[in-house]
Structure 1
Amino acid sequence: MSGWTNLIHFITVYICLGVTKSRRKRGLLWI
């Protein structure tokens, strides 16, 4: 179960970082 938890957590963080970078590139500041 810990393996799945780590995998889901990693994917969530990766997506969040991707969204943040895309928003920064467009010059939009959304908190």
Structure 2
Amino acid sequence: MIILIPLLVLSFAYSTFFIKKKLLQIVKLCA
């Protein structure tokens, strides 16, 4: 259970970073 919490935080941080990168690519294409 203790290992599950940092893993969840890590996956959440990674997905947030991935979404930001995708959004940046879309903005660059539109600009």
> Under a length normalisation based on structure 1, what TM-score does the superposition of the two structures give?
0.81
CA RMSD of aligned residues (A): 0.4
Rg comparison, structure with higher value: 2
> Under a length normalisation based on structure 2, what TM-score does the superposition of the two structures give?
0.81
Identity in percent: 7
Runs of 4+ in 1 over 3 A off after TM superposition: none
Q: How many residues align?
A: 27
More helix by share: 2
1:13 CA displacement: 0.2
For structure 2, which runs of at least 5 residues remain unmatched after alignment? none
The structure whose RCO (Cα within 8 Å, separation 6+) is larger is: 1
1:16 CA displacement: 0.4
